[in-house]
Structure formats: structure tokens, C-alpha cells
A and B are shown apart, each in its own frame.
Chain A
Amino acid sequence: MNLIFTAIFSLAVLLMQVLPAPLMAMDTEFSGFLETRHNAQVKSPNDILASETLARLELTACQGNFTGFGAVNLSANHLLEDESGVSLHEGYLDYALGSVTIRAGRQIIIWGQADGIRIVDNVSPLDYAETITRDFDEMRMAVDALNLKYGSGWGDLQLLWIPVYKSGEQPSKDSPWYLGGYGNNTVLPDNEPDDPLKDSELALRYTLYLSGMDLAFSYFYTWNDFPCYKQLGTALEPVYDRVHILGAEFSKPLGEFVYRAEAAYFAGSLVQGYGSDYFTAQKDRIKWLTGLDWYPGNDWTLSCQYTQDHILNSGSGLIESGCAKTVTFNISKDLFREKLTLSALGYMDIDVKDRLVRLTAEYQFIDNLEVFLGTDIFAGDRTGSYGRYKDNTQVWTKIKYHF
């Protein structure tokens, strides 16, 4: 499917270049960026932990009420060669008529008020394949969906139909970010949901933009992003199951502050267990988050968030914690008329006390050319999500040119 989309879009880009002028009467725009990024381990043996050069080519074409958009990634991964290649990042057609917008095709859909934490934001899965330290927006995977939006003055109603299941991506065995395997067990081939009608996903979201407050309510009938495994002798069978997610979001400005809150109830979420054997269990879970942004002026932005993830009646034997508590912070300051941005971002698991701190300096040499320097510091107990990568504390650089 991916290959077909990529081929169609690449052909469209090619046609745009060779078509005669009258056919090019539609309003078209070609843009994109070229980026090279390289991460190196701080500790000996100072391995390269990520190294990629990426070109993203974007084409927007408008005609009447229609807008077509496509973005292709041309990637040369210098560390994980399997990740290199051409892929369709996004490709969709928009139709706008008055208050109604229909977007059909491959698209990234992001919900929620949280930064860097997923609560109600479950539509577009994440690609953890290479490194968990990439920005959230760079890890998003597009879904093939029909997206209908109706704007009615104060509020927007959104309906989604996703006929093609898309699972998240985990780091592969040869990646420095590999999460570990399942012992000597053989993992049976994937049996992802693949019936475009019976297995499709549905979502509904109503957002209210009021004077002094935003509110949103959502329902998502979906599948778990990653399979859980069930023991069959010495083999492990991947299991996918349905989950109903009910979500609510809230944000309110209070002077220099913006208060945010978000909660989601997962009915029948599949979780992984391990006793003497691997097993799966269906549990309800509640995730919630509260956060505060502060805009004190002078180009400072400060924010902090607190979040909990409860598995209800978790019992024993689950791989995940029955109640995970995480706190995050983000501080950033623009200097020299927004040419230089310094930022510090942190995540900490309150129980395990492991943490990730990312320090970044972003400098705009000239318009459209940015240079980034940064470090990701992993610390704390090795059983935690961040502490496990203690040896992967890294320095990194990225150069990005937009055209």
C-alpha cells in the first residue's frame, strides 16, 4: 500500500514538472527541507547512535475548492540501512465548502493539549524505530483516513474513518535503542487487522473554542498500537484487540498563564503480562494530565506537566506499572531577535526516578537555515523507560535548510 501511494505521488510530482503550461494553471507550490542529523554516544566507545540525511519534498496544488498536498521522504540512513529509502510521508486531497472540510488520504492527525505525552492523542501512531529522543512531530506516522470537519461558529465537529490499520514501530534488534526480546521464544508472523470494513477505526471529536476557554470531547474506536504476545508452547502469537477510548480536553488562559488538562478512559485496553509464560489481559485504564504554561514576556516560555497512567485492577504479573506517574518541564528563551533559541526539556518518572533531560541550542544563521546543537542525558534506575538508556547519553547536531 505504502509503495503504491509513493509511486502515485512521485508520478504526480514528475507530471507537474513536464505538463504543459495550460494544465499548470492551478495554483501550485513546491517546498520542503533538507536535513542532516548525527548523534554520538558520550561514553566510550562513543558509538554513532543515529545518523541520517533526509530530504522532504512537498507539493501543494489548489484548484477551486480542492487542495492537494503530498510530502515524500527521501532518506539516507547512515546507521540503519534498512531505514533508508523513499516513502510517502503524507498525501491527501482537501475539499472545502463553507463550514465543511473533507480531507481524504494519508495524513497525520494530532489531538490533545499535552506536550510530548499521549493521553487522547492516539490517532497517529509513533515510530520509535530509531531513537526515542526525536521530537514528537518527527516521530508521527500518517494514517490513511477520511477526515470530515464541520465548523459551526464556536465549535468544530470532526469525524474520522480509518480503513487501514497502522501499527507503531519499535526499534529493531540492530538499533542502539532496542528494547529487548522475548527470550528463546519464536515470534509468530504478524496478523494485523486487515479488513478495511470490519477492522476499520472510527473517531469523533467535538471541540469548543469559547471566549476564555477551549473544551474538547472525543471517542475513538481503535486497536492497540503495538501487539501483545500470548504464549503458544515455545512460540509467541501477536495479539491485536479493540479498544474504546473516551477523551476530554480543557485549556484556559489566566493572565500570563495557560492551564491545560486532559484525560482519557480506555475501555478494554490490551496489556502484556508475564508469569511463567507470556499472557495478555484486557484492562480498563485511565490516563490524565494537568499542565501549566507561563508566558512571562521577554521571549521566555515555561511549562510543566504532571501525568498519571492507571491500569484499573491491574493485579500482578503485568509488565507495565499499575500506576505510572511522570512529570515534565520545558523552558525556552529566544535571544537576538529570535535568531537563537535555548531550551531545556525534561521527563521524570516519579516512582522509578529515572529521567531524560534534553538541552538544545537552535541558531538561525540566515533565513531558512537552522543549526541545532544538543545533548540528551539519560539518568536513574535502569529498570525505567529512560534509565535503561543510561549508556546512550548523547550529543547531537542537526542542520536543516527549508526551501
Chain B
Amino acid sequence: MLSHPKKKHDLISLICFFSIFILFLSPLIKGKAGAAPLTGRDIMVMVDETPDGDDKKSTIEMVLINHRNKKRVREMSSFSKDYGKDTKKLMAFKKPMDIKGTSFLSWEYDDPSKDDDKWLYMPALRKVRRISGASTNDYFMGSDFTYDDMGDRNVDEDEHTLIGEETVDGRVCWKIKSVPREDDSLYDEKIIWVSKEAHITVKGEYYDAQGLIKTYTVEELRKHQGFWTLFKTKMENHREKHITLMTLSNIEYNTGVDDGFFSVNTISRGHLR
């Protein structure tokens, strides 16, 4: 039996129409599927990968303020250089005078299963000694920053959840909750605000089982030599009523510092040039 020619024509037209319609819609459908919402981890990876030059040099001043408003000042020269995801750092103390000349050298590895290599030079002993790279929860030189707070904790050591968006000091931020995957942190939980523009943490709250321990805030963040740069930060310990103000100056990126600079030989000289 032969079909009706009109009906056949209508069917072909309908198939063509739907084909063109689907073809026209497909990029939109595909695009919709590709723009999956950002996760907390995605944002923290962006923070981790924020451009900061191949190497960096700066002077760091830490002012430690106790509950009686008494101040103690620490000043150090800081140098760092990236080697892929790993970093070599050198820090030499200038103040106070009793620890002047004390220097730290660290080779920090992104792989959390590998302990960092760390050496300490103490001028009174005139000796470099290897120290453990495992204790990253100790406070750095009496400040409110732990070695972990100052270093680059691997993104996957914490579980990150995006919990909202808020504005902090006029900066539109992602708000993220970070919970350590293992029981290796001082904190049970961190709430972090990441600037959408700079991809830098501009505020952090640190909690343990008893509640809020301390708050991190950024007081000065701006572009310097083409890179978003932290100039002033503050860490306030609410339990001990203690504050640490950290100010960075003389910042230089991409200085081309030689690999040999990040060596034990450099810190053992006792004076950095």
C-alpha cells in the first residue's frame, strides 16, 4: 500500500524542523551542562594557583600585641621560589637582636605524604641543624600564626564546601567551610572568605570544639608588580586576647634569584646580602 504523498511530505518537514531545532539548541544544552557550579575545592584550587611570580622577596614585620597592649616586634627577610607545586623558602631574622641572624631554610612539598625538609641556623651555636618538618601546628615565633597558617597547606588536606557569597570590606567573596580530613590540625573547622576578584583569602575564622579561636583579616590588599599582594594582615586570638599584625614591605617578584641561594651554605654564613 502506498502512503499518501502529502502525509509523507509533512513527516519529512517535521523531522527536518525538529532536527534543526535540536541542532540549534544543542550548544545551549551543552553549555548549560559544562558550566557546573563551582565547588569549594575548585575555589581553593584557584586560591592555590593564584599567580604570585616564580620567586618573591620581602621584609616581614610582625607586631605581637598582648591583652595589656604591650608590643613585641619581630622583623625578618623572607625569600621564596616555586619549583612546580613545591616551594623553597628562606627566612632570616633581623629583630629582636637576641635572635638576629637566626635563619630558617625549608623545602616545602605539595605532597602531604612527604614531610618538608627544614634546617635552622642559630648564630650562637654557629651550626646548622636539621629540624623536624612534621610539627606544623606550633605557633611561629610567639605569634598567632602557626607554621600551617603561614605555609601552603595542600588543598586536599581539607574538605572544602562552598556555603555562600558575602561582601567583606567591599570585596565580593565566596564563603567556604574547610574541615580537615584527618585529625592533624589545631582546628576542627575554618570558615574562609575568598575574594572573587583577587582569588585570595581575605578573612578566616578558626574554630575548635569550644568555638571560635581566632580571626584572620586582611587590612591591605592591592596589585603590586602585576600580582595581587597582601601588604597587611591581622590574626586575632580571641581566647588569649592576643593580636599579631603582619606587614610586608620591600616586596619584589621575579627577581631571578639563583637556585643556589636556597641552600644550607647561604644560611650558615650568618649574614644575608
Which A residues contact B (CB, under 8 angstroms)?
A: 31, 33, 60, 62, 67, 69, 94, 96, 98-99, 101, 108-110, 112-113, 136-137, 140, 149, 151, 153, 156, 207, 209, 211-212, 214, 251-253, 255-258, 293, 295-299, 334, 337-339, 364, 366-368, 370, 400, 402-403
Contacts and interface: CB of A to CB of B under 8 A. Distances in A.
A67 B130 contact: no
B216 interface: no
Contacts, number: 116
Chain A facing B: main interface SS: strand
Contacts of A212: 115, 117
B115 A137 contact: no
B242 interface: yes
B259 A297 contact: no
Contact of B98 (A136, A140, A368): A368
Given A101-B269, A110-B125, A255-B115, A153 B142 contact: no
Given A108-B126, A256-B135, A295-B131, A370 B98 contact: yes
A153 B97 CA distance: 31
Pairs A-B, 7 closest by C-beta atoms: A151-B265, A402-B97, A337-B142, A367-B96, A338-B142, A295-B132, A402-B98
A211 B137 contact: no
Contact of A209 (B97, B264, B270): B264
Nearest to B98: A402
B64 interface: yes
Given A113-B129, A207-B264, 7 more contacts: A31-B100, A33-B97, A62-B271, A156-B264, A253-B117, A253-B132, A255-B134
B79 interface: no
Contacts of B64: 337
A149 B265 contact: yes
A67 B131 contact: no
Contacts of B117: 209, 211-212, 253
A251 B130 contact: yes
Interface of B: 64, 66, 72-73, 95-98, 100, 107, 115, 117-119, 124-127, 129-135, 137-139, 141-143, 242, 258-260, 263-266, 269-271, 273
A370 B95 CA distance: 15
B263 A209 contact: yes
A255 B114 CA distance: 9
A153 B263 CA distance: 7
A137 B138 contact: no
Given A31-B100, A137-B125, A153-B259, A293 B132 contact: yes
Contacts of B127: 110, 112
Nearest to B124: A137
Contact of B115 (A31, A98, A253): A253
A140 B242 CA distance: 40
A149 B265 CA distance: 8
Given A137-B126, A149-B265, A211-B117, A368 B142 contact: no
25 contacts: A31-B100, A60-B271, A62-B271, A69-B270, A96-B269, A98-B258, A110-B126, A112-B127, A113-B129, A153-B263, A156-B263, A253-B115, A253-B117, A253-B130, A253-B131, A253-B132, A253-B134, A255-B134, A297-B137, A334-B142, A337-B143, A337-B242, A338-B141, A368-B98, A370-B98
A337 B260 contact: no
Contacts of A257: 132
B132 A151 contact: no
A94 B259 contact: no
Nearest to B107: A211
Contacts of B100: 31, 402
B126 A99 contact: no
A367 B93 CA distance: 13
B105 to A, nearest CB: 9
Contacts of A339: 142
A4 B119 CA distance: 37
Contacts of B129: 113, 251
A137 to B, nearest CB: 5
A299 B138 CA distance: 7
A211 B270 CA distance: 23
B17 to A, nearest CB: 66
A403 B98 CA distance: 8
A252 B129 CA distance: 11
Contacts of A98: 258, 260
A209 B98 contact: no
A135 to B, nearest CB: 8
Nearest to B244: A337
A212 B117 CA distance: 6
A203 B171 CA distance: 61
Given A98-B260, A108-B126, A156-B264, A258 B132 contact: yes
B140 to A, nearest CB: 10
Contacts of B133: 253
A99 B265 CA distance: 9
